[in-house]
Amino acid sequence: MTMLRGAAIFCALAFQSGVFAQAFDESALEALDQAAPAAPISAEPAGAAELRAAMRRISFNPSDAAAMADAGDASLALGDANAALNFFTRANALRPGNSRILSGLATATVHTENPFEALRLFDQAVRLGASERSIALDRALAFDLLGNFGRAQQDYKLARTASTSDDLIIRQAVSLSLAGQKEPADAMLVPLLQRNSPAAWRARAFILAARGELRESTKVAQGFMDAGSALRMERYFRLMPSLTDAQKAAAIHLGHFPTSQAVGRDSEQVRRIASALPQTPVVSGDNRLIPSGTALGPKAAPTRDSKSTPKPDRARNQNEQQPVESQAVVANVPESQKLPKTETARPLVSAALVKPASTLTPSPLSAQAQNTPVAAEPQPKSAVITLQPTQNAASATEALALTQAPAVAVQAPEPVPAERVASSRFDLGAIVEAIDIPESEQRPSQIPVDLKKLKPVVKVDPKLAAKAKAEKDHPARFWVQIATGNADALDFDYRKLSKTYAVLLKSRKAFTAEWGRTDRLLVGPFADQKAAKKWEGDYKKAGGDAFMWKSEMGEVVNPLKTK
């Protein structure tokens, strides 16, 4: 028992993190196992039992890499990314080169908001045998944190081919919305919102705030939070439109907001990655790379009688040149920031290349043309397939198949002599001038109308007219909110506050504005934000409780009704 306690103490010293199970020693674990089962009070959080079991194994053997990895997975399930990072780092030191441990280390790294190192680790895990589908969800998060939403969508779609979950759906909807695809993002969240998922409602509120729809995001927050929490969330909602794409992703996915000095400014690493990588996604699934550059097939097919084979030196040179071009995108990025490398895709690239016609077996359809010399159609300048952002992996695979299938089965047309091409050209201008139009058809059959004399018919949409009037009557202005409550009772509150803070309120007028199911009591309007903040500071120094608030254009703010 003394040795077991010593092992437990060693383990506790090796991992100093916030996970509660790490403080357990062996005697406490035995006492817990031998205790009589009590009536269940509340369900344990996901990962708690797994973490306890892993810590028990580590206490027996501090060099158990598998137990370390299990503890890391359990810590991720509990939401403690820093503890998971400690466990996986130790496991990787004990058993380097393990794909499962590297995948977990990459996942913990991206959840600590380090997408650069995470992508490098994901790439290593894949090269060591990790499944693309198993890491796709968290690798998509890494691309979101870089603002590369097109590439992230590729991995979200790949992850959904393996399994689906509320977390996956919410992350993909957030990524779609940040990429500007509002309708698909909103539709994706509908089933979760109908089930009243708190995580989905939180994501919905921040999505609306990121779009600049602050009033709607506040209403959503008030629907599933108490008034005090919704009030505290409002300042974060107002900050969302000012963030960069990468900062918005970190705020919604991880709840991490930048410092006031960094708002609207990406880090040097993010800017460097964004400038080096294209936004267009590549083919999803296992085919992660499409061949680019000059087509590697022969420019002219040999005759059937010759059946020559390509020279070995040329074939070797072509295969050696292809990986160089595929890595050119990340050549200028530091090693710690590089995105997944493409070594794993090299065999797939070789398989996707157009094969020389002489190495293909003729189909039965072309048997009768075995002894007939033919000339192949000119090869295109490039064999690359350009994908639009909305093109999926299936269409890309079909397009690639179409470029390869008819290599030999169809006989190429006979070349047209240059003299015949030259003689077939014509001058379109000469043909037009030779047309004889009758005089009767040259006279105008209709009298021209002066469009300047016509009065345009303007049909005004009543809703748009009402909105324009509201924006004119209620422009965006700065206020200071000093109380909340029912509109009928705010007059009494203001008279009471006027007696307490007579010096500050005697020269100010009171106004009200709706705020969900309650109303705001406002003082103002002020000339600008600076003036409002100054009055707010003076009011707080006098003992009052207030904060600055800016009304949106068209938001109704009425004078306080006095009795």
Q: Final residue of a domain: which of 270, 299, 320?
A: 270
Band (pLDDT 50/70/90 cuts) for residue 234 is confident
- Which pLDDT band, with edges at 50, 70 and 90, does 108 fall under? very high
**What mean pLDDT, rounded, does the chain reach?**
70
Could you tell me the pLDDT band of residue 267, with boundaries at 50, 70 and 90? confident
pLDDT at res. 433: 53
Question: Would residue 279 count as lying in a domain?
Answer: no
Q: Each residue of 362-413: pLDDT tens digit?
A: 433 334 434 444 444 444 333 333 333 333 434 333 433 333 333 333 344 4
Alpha-carbon dihedral of residues 505, 509, 515, 517, nearest 10 degrees?
A: 90
Could you give the 3-state DSSP secondary structure of residue 417? Answer: coil
- Give 294's DSSP letter: S
pLDDT given at position 92:
94
pLDDT of 352 above 50:
no
Residue 413: partners with Cβ closer than 8 Å, 6 or more residues away: 377
pLDDT given at position 560: 84
425 Cβ neighbours under 8 A, 6+ residues apart? none
Q: Among 154-168, 377-391, 497-511, 520-534, which stretch is predicted with the lowest mean pLDDT?
A: 377-391
| 298-325 average pLDDT score | 42
- Confidence tier at 520 by pLDDT (50, 70, 90): confident
The pLDDT tens digits of the residues spanning 177-212 come to 999 999 999 999 999 999 989 999 999 999 999 999
Contact 516, 532 (CB under 8 A): no
pLDDT for residue 39 is more than 90: no
Q: Of residues 392 and 278, which shows the higher confidence score?
A: 278
Mean pLDDT for 413-432 is: 46
Cα–Cα nearest to 123, from 283, 271, 337:
337
Give the pLDDT confidence score for residue 338 in this predicted structure. 36
pLDDT higher than threshold 60 for residue 509: yes
Q: Of the ranges 106-120, 438-452, 509-523, which one carries the lowest mean pLDDT score? A: 438-452
Residue 196 lies in a domain: yes
Q: Is residue 436 part of a domain?
A: no
Confidence of residue 295 (pLDDT cuts 50, 70, 90): very low
Q: What is the pLDDT of residue 451?
A: 58
Whether the pLDDT of residue 265 is over 90: the answer is no
Predicted pLDDT of residue 7: 44
- Contact status, residue 506 vs residue 498, Cβ threshold 8 Å: yes
Q: Would residue 462 count as lying in a domain?
A: no
pLDDT classification of 126: cutoffs 50, 70, 90:
very high
Number of H helices, E strands in the chain: 26, 5
Pairing of strands 547-551, 558-559: unpaired
- Let me know if residue 450 belongs to a domain: no
Q: What order of strands is seen across the sheet that includes strand 509-515?
A: 547-551, 477-485, 518-526, 509-515, 558-559
What confidence score (pLDDT) does residue 207 get? Answer: 94
Here the CATH number for the domain that contains residue 198 is 1.25.40.10
Instruction: Write down the pLDDT at residue 485.
Output: 83
560 touches 482 (CB < 8 A): no
> 425 in a domain, yes or no?
no
Of 270, 290, 320, the one marking the end of a domain is 270
More confident residue, 341 or 548: 548
Decide if 429 contacts 435 (C-beta within 8 A).
no
Considering only 107-121, 303-317, 534-548, which range has the smallest mean pLDDT?
Answer: 303-317
Per-residue pLDDT band at 103 (split at 50, 70, 90): very high
pLDDT of 91 > 90? The answer is: yes
Residue with the larger pLDDT of the pair 286 and 91: 91
Average pLDDT estimate for 465-493: 78
Above pLDDT 70, what percent of the chain? 57
Question: What is the CATH classification number for the domain harbouring 537?
Answer: 3.30.70.1070
Helix (H/G/I), strand (E/B), else coil: 79: coil
Number of neighbours of residue 513 by Cβ within 10 angstroms: 18
Judge whether 125 lies within some domain: yes
Lowest mean pLDDT among 71-80, 246-255, 367-376, 502-511: 367-376
When comparing pLDDT for 327 and 528, which is higher? 528
Residues in Cβ contact with 292 at an 8 Å cutoff, skipping those fewer than 6 apart: 325, 326, 382, 383, 384
Strand partners, 521: 483, 512
Q: Is the pLDDT of residue 309 over 60?
A: no
Last residue of a domain, one of 237, 254, 270: 270
State if pTM tops 0.75: no
Q: 317 pLDDT exceeds 80?
A: no
Percent share of the chain, pLDDT over 90: 29
For the chain, what is the domain count?
Answer: 2
Which of 59-73, 234-248, 338-352, 406-420 has the lowest average pLDDT? 338-352
In a domain, 434, yes or no: no
Query: What pLDDT score was predicted for residue 274?
Result: 64
What three-state secondary structure class fits 491? helix
Measured between alpha carbons, how far apart are the two ends of the chain, in Å? 80
> What domain range is 190 assigned to?
2-35+42-270
Q: Which residue has the higher pLDDT, 285 or 168?
A: 168
Question: Which residues make beta-bridge pairs with 526?
Answer: 478
